[in-house]
Amino acid sequence: MAGISEDQRQGTRGGYSNTSTTNQTNFLVSQQIRKDIQTSFVARIDSCQSTEEHAGSKTVAITPLISQTDTEGTALDMVSIPDLPHTRYQHGIAAVIIDPVPGDIVLANVNKNDISTINDQTKEPVNAGSFRQFSQSDAVVTDSIHTKPPEVYIVLRQDKTIKERGPEGIRVETDKTLDEEALENRVIHIGKDRQETIGGNSTITINGNNSITVNGSITIEAGGAITIKAPSITFDTPQAAFTGNVTIAGGLAQGGGMRARVGAHAGTRAGAGAVFYNEIHTMQTVTADVDVIGGGISLKGHTHSGVQSGPSNTGAPQ
């Protein structure tokens, strides 16, 4: 391990340290303080015991990244310090869980006293675990520094917007829905290959006028029936296809033409009006305000040949 170079080796004694008894005493006291009092140091995360989402923060093992040196400036091997608590962004039962991972560079703050007697059950002041003071064994790991570019993150901007990114998905879990809180001015950008799963019975309420724009296609697949309730529904499309049976409980009005095509009769016919290429059966009377034409013969204006004019009627239809 590399040591301190010759041109960087400088003693801690100043030019006036040995000029008087007072200066000598100050130098000795300063040396003792430098030796015994630890403040903060930069370290590397070696391992982390906090692995459960539904548990409190636990401990980490770290290795200081500034090596100790001997009197010649040669760096000494540093050992890992185990069982140090680390901070988590949490107050009460509310938390943002971002636990350290091996390789993180972090800042460790050294406490004045032995804190080994403090844990998640401590509610009142307790005695220190020993008489040691300013020891690295009583450090608390806080923030990370020199971080890598993040891939999963939440950005809180000063323009009052929030950005969330989860390349492999974003999962939201809740036991209750706070429907009394209106969501205003909400914009959601969904990336590719995203899948959302909602468990149980759910209700979505949208207030105000809203629109959904999809640049691709949409497929809705339901295991049960789909019911749409509205005062009116408009399908603004040049063509619509129904692959199964269609039942209409109310009246049917059409103005642009209608086609009914089955099998080999799937042809087309120009002009307005309804065109059916298979049989039609109705359970009620068929009426027409103008006329009914079958095979080119008018029901209203047709004539019968082979009969003699007079007061007699023709026979019943055959």
d(CA 162, CA 156): 5
Q: Is the pLDDT of residue 176 over 80?
A: no
Is pLDDT of 269 > 60? no
Is residue 218's pLDDT more than 80?
yes
Which carries the bigger pLDDT value, residue 35 or residue 108? 108
Residue 39: φ, ψ to 5°: -115, -90
Q: What is the pLDDT of residue 292?
A: 87
Q: Residue 17's pLDDT is what?
A: 74
Evaluate whether residue 112 is within a structural domain.
yes
Helix (H) or strand (E) holding 30: helix 21-36
CATH code at position 102: 2.40.50.230
pLDDT number for residue 114? 94
50 in a structural domain: yes
Q: Is residue 5 part of a domain?
A: no
Q: Is the pLDDT of residue 113 over 90?
A: yes
Q: How far apart are CA 90 and CA 78, in angstroms?
A: 32
Specify if 103 maps to a domain: yes
Backbone angles phi, psi at 33, to 5 degrees: -65, -45
Q: List all residues 6 or more positions away from 301 whose beta carbon is below 8 Å from its beta carbon.
A: 291
Encode pLDDT of 45-87 as tens digits. Answer: 999 999 877 788 999 999 999 998 887 778 889 999 999 999 9
Q: What is the pLDDT averaged over residues 286-310?
A: 81
Report helix, strand or coil for 62: strand
Count of domains for the chain = 1
Q: Is the predicted pLDDT of residue 264 greater than 50, yes or no?
A: no
- Average pLDDT, stretch 305-318? 68
Determine the length of the chain. 318
Residue 93: inside a domain, yes or no? yes
Q: Check residue 25 and report its DSSP letter.
A: H
CA neighbours closer than 13 Å in the CB half-sphere of residue 109:
6
Of 236, 237, 186, give the one whose Cα is nearest residue 207: 186
Which structure tokens are listed for 53?
Answer: 């989402």
Q: Does any domain span residue 126?
A: yes
Structural domain contains residue 185: no
What domain range is 109 assigned to? 37-145
Q: What are the backbone dihedrals phi and psi of residue 27, each rounded to the nearest 5 degrees, phi first?
A: -65, -45
**What's the CA gap between 300 and 313, in Å, rounded?**
16
* pLDDT of amino acid 30: 81
Q: Is residue 121 part of a domain?
A: yes
Please give the pLDDT value at position 44.
Answer: 97
- Range of lowest pLDDT (150-159, 187-196, 216-225): 187-196
User: Average model confidence (pLDDT) for the chain?
Assistant: 81
Amino acid identity of 256?
Answer: G
Q: Which residue has the higher pLDDT, 62 or 197?
A: 62
Compute the average pLDDT of residues 84-101.
91
